[in-house]
A and B are shown apart, each in its own frame.
Chain A
C-alpha cells in the first residue's frame, strides 16, 4: 500500500513540474541572441535619416525629399513620408519643428507665403501637386484644411457650409444644396444643435461648435484628405472628445493628417505618428509602438517629457 501511495505522489510531483517547466523554462542564450538583435535595431537611432516605416504600399500622399525654405531659412529638411488611405496620421514635435509648414505643403497653402520655397516631390494619388498646370482651387477642395482657430466666414451657418459646394458647382439645385448642408452638419455632429438656427451668423456659435462648423465646411466639398492643424487647442475636453469622435468616424472615408501638441490626443486618434525635430522627420511608426517603444532617443525624450 505504501509504495503505491508514494508512486502516485511521485508522479503527481513529476506531472506538475513537467507542466510548470513548460511554462517557465526559458532558454536564456536564445533570449540573449534575440535581445542583441533588437538592440542592434536601436543603434540606427543616431542615423541621419528617418527611422521607422515612413514608406507604405499604396499611399494616398507621398512626399519625397521635400525641402521647404522661408527665404534662406530651411524649415523642412529632406522629408520622405507616405500617408495612407483611411488612416489618421499625427504630426508631433516641439514648437517650430516644421509641422505646420509640412502640413501646408500638402495642399499648397504655402504658395501664398512670400519667400516660401518648396522643393522635392509631393504626390496626391500619384499626381505631383506642385506641377505648374495644377489648379490650386480644386486641389484645396480635394485636400481640405481645418485650422487651430475656428475661422467661420462672417455669414450665416447655412452659408458657411453652402459656400464651398456652390463655388465648386457640386450641386445645381437649391434643394440639393440644402441636402449637402444638412448631411455635412450631421456628419460633423453639429446638426442637432444648429438645425433651428441655420440663418444665425456662424460667429455666434461657441468655439467648439465653430470648430465643428469649420469641419462641416471642409467635408461639404467632398475632400479626399483633411488636414488639421491643432484643431482642439482652443476647446474644452468635451468639445475635444466630440472632435476626436468625429475624426474617428471620418477616417472611414478620408485620409486625415492632424498636428497636435497633445501626446494623448495623438495616441488616441491616430494610427500612425510622425515625430519632427528641427525640420527633420525623425521617426514614423504605428502610434501604439511610438508611444510604448519609440526607436529614436529624440522621440523618446520628447514624448516622455525629458530634457532633450
Chain B
C-alpha cells in the first residue's frame, strides 16, 4: 500500500475523473458539454490567484474560518481512552461544512456568467448554504428536496425561503435525497444554458467529486496544522460521518499519505445493517452506476436502487462519493456504521458533557468515537469531524421524546 499512497495525489482522479474503477462521467448526452465546460472553468480558476484570494476572503470573513479544533477534555476523560479533538465545522456560518463548497461553486458560477443556481438537499444544510450564496450573488435559486425531508427538516425549508430560494418538494421515488438529485439533474438538462448546478457532496459526474473535495479539504488542511500546533504530532485516527462523503473526504484527503493515521468513515446503520433499513452502501452495498459515477450503491440483484433509511436526512442516500469507494478497496480507510439509536445517544452525550449540540449526521461520527476511544490510550489522539450543529434537528429529537413545538 505504501507505494500506492506515495503516488496517490498524482494518480486520483485520472483526467477523466476515474478513481480506479470508480467515478467517471455517466450522464445523458445533453449534459456532457456542460460538465466539460465546468471542468474547464474549474481547472482555469482553481490556481488563479484572484479566484483564490476571493475564496479565502469569503471563507474568513463570511464563513468564519478557520474553524476551531476543540479538545473535548470532559468527554475524553469519561470515555477513558484517546484524547478527542473536534473539528468545529458546526461553527461555520449556516451551521455545517456545506458552505465551504457552496462558496467555491458560487464563485465559479459567477465567473461562468450563469444566472440561475439549482441544488439538491437532504438535511437542508446544503440547500441553506446554497440559498445563502445565491442571496449574496443576487441570483435565482431553486432547491430540490425530497418531500419526506421537507417534513423532517421544516426549519431549514423556512430558512431557504427566507433567503429567497424556491424549495421544490420532490414526490417521486422514495421522496428523499436521491430523488432530489434526480430532479435537480432533470432541471439542469432542461435549463442547461443559464443554470449552474451546485452539487452538495462528492458525488455526481466528473469534475464534481474532485472539485467538491478540493473545496472541502480546507477542513483537513486546517486540522492538520491545528493539531500539529497544539499537540505537536499528527492524530492517530480520524473519524467522519458519510452521507455522500464530502465532510469526510475534506478531512481525510490531506492525511491519506500519512500511513500511520488511521481513517474511519461512519455510515448510517439506521435500524441495523441486518434489518436492511440503513444507508450504508460501503458497508453493505456493491459497485454500480448512479448519478453520474460508478461507486458503491445500495441496490438489489437486478441493479435497482433500494430505499434507504437513516434518522438523519443528510445520510439517507444510497450511494457514496467514488473516492471513498477507492479508499475502501485500497484498504486505506475503513468504513463502519452506527445505528440511529447509537447516534442519538452520542447526540445527547455530547450535548450534556461538552455543551455542544451536534447535527444528527455528525452524531454518527461521535458515536463511533465512543467505541474507538476506549480502545486507545490517553496519549493517543482521535480527531472527529463535527460536520454540523444540531439546531436543524430539534424537531426530530423532540418528536422522539414525544414533544412538538
Q: Tell me whether A and B are bound partners.
A: no
Binding site for B on A (CB under 8 A): none
Binding site for A on B (CB under 8 A): none
